[in-house]
Structures are given as structure tokens and as C-alpha cells.
Amino acid sequence: MKIVFATHNANKLEEVRKLLPKEIQLLSLDDIGCSEDIPETGKTLEENAKIKADYVTQGYGLDCFSDDTGLLVDALQGAPGVYSARYAGEQKSAQGNMVKILSELNGNGNRNAYFKTVIHLNLQNHSYVFEGIVNGQITEEQHGSGGFGYDPIFKPEGFEQTFGELPMETKNSISHRARAVQKLVDFLKNQSS
């Protein structure tokens, strides 16, 4: 089975590719010759994931899935949420985003937050949605250089290390994306059997 993952992000592509069984060939936007950045104009993670998957399915005639992920911080009323990638500006600086969050939470005792990934799948003229959530805390400062995005300031529930410090295998087994992708993989396995 061939399926497109609507992303240009090599880190996300590799993370998901490791979770998929060998019989599913994962193609990126670059693999299908789609070089444009698909506009994310939705007001929710669900809307953005659908927009990106529909763009590929309608424009290229291919089965596709897309994800959108957000960090939702309790003390910031769910921000940055759908604006997670560009929270500190359109330049999409992970470092700038982390600095902004840490600054906004400075002195705030409520560090509760969660990552949420929504996957929208277009497969054989049907649409499906899968979701993964991991709860945790925003740390006081950055720890670790692994992962990407907010990983160095997010400590998942039940762990003493941030996503930026945890080995990739550990992160892949517990992350929001891993949880959503596992639901997608289970679904695809059932479709192909």
C-alpha cells in the first residue's frame, strides 16, 4: 500500500516512517512533486489536518493523511494550540516559540499542558480522523537537544525528562503523534487484511 503523508518536515516523516509496518510505503510531499507549503487556514487542529489531506487527494488523486499538532497550555487558555508552529511569529522558530512560552509562564505555578495530534486520512474516497494526546508539564527551562519543536520544555506525565532528553525510541512509544499514528496503523492493517 502506498500512501502520502502531507508533510515537508523530514523529522516528522522519519518519526512516522519508523512506526509504520514495512508493507505501507510512505511518500512525502516532495516524493510526489508537491513543493508548495499547503496553507493552514483552519481554526482548529482538525480543520488544518483536513485541509492538507484534501489538498493532496484533490490535487494529486492520491490516498493521503495529514496531521496537525498543537501544544495546549492550561495557564494560557489552550494557547498556542493551532498556532504552535508560529507562536512567536511567521518565521516558525522553535527557539523563539519556547522562549515565548517560558516567558509567559514565568512565575506561574500551573505548568500543566498537553500535546494533541489529529490525523485526517483520505482513503479510497472515505475520510477518517485519529487523535493522540499526551499530558505533561512545561519545565522552567529548556532541557535536552533531541526531538524538535517544544520537546526541550515538555516533560511528559510519568517521566523526569523532557521529550528533548528522552531517547527517540522512548518518545516514539509514548508521544501524541505515536498514539495517533498507532490508531492510523491499526486501521490501515485492518483495511489491507
User: In the prediction, which pLDDT does 62 show?
Assistant: 96
Instruction: For residue 97, give every residue at least 6 positions away whose Cβ sits within 8 Å of its Cβ, in sequence order, or none.
Output: 80, 84, 85, 86, 87, 88, 149, 150
Catalytic residue among 67, 68, 151, 186: 68
Q: Provide mean pLDDT across the span 115-119.
A: 97
Backbone CA torsion sign across 175, 181, 187, 192: negative
Predicted structure pTM score: 0.88
Q: Which is nearest to 132 in space by CA: 117, 112, 150, 121?
A: 117
31 given a catalytic annotation: no
Task: Give 117 or 192, the one with higher predicted confidence.
Answer: 117
Q: What span, in angstroms and rounded, lies between the C-alpha atoms of 128 and 123?
A: 8
C-alpha cell at 77: 487558555
pLDDT for 9: 85
pLDDT in tens, 3-45: 999 998 887 888 788 777 788 899 999 999 999 889 889 999 9
Which residues partner with 109 through β-bridges? none
Q: What is the pLDDT of residues 145-181, one digit of tens each?
A: 988 899 999 999 999 999 999 998 898 889 998 899 8
CB-CB contact of 34 with 60 (8 Å): yes
Residue 184 φ/ψ, nearest 5 degrees: -65, -45
CB crowding 146-155: b at 16 or more within 10 Å, else e: bbebbbbbbb
Helix axis angle for 176-192 and 10-17, nearest 10°, is 50
Cell numbers representing residue 101 in the block? 512560552
How many CB atoms neighbour CB 190 within 10 A?
8
| Domains delineated in the chain | 2-192 (3.90.950.10)
pLDDT in tens, 73-109: 999 999 999 999 999 998 889 999 999 999 999 999 9
CB 37 within 8 A of CB 120: no
**What per-residue confidence (pLDDT) applies to 1?**
86
DSSP 137: E
Asked whether 133 and 120 are in contact (CB, 8 A), the reply is: no
SS3 state at 48: helix
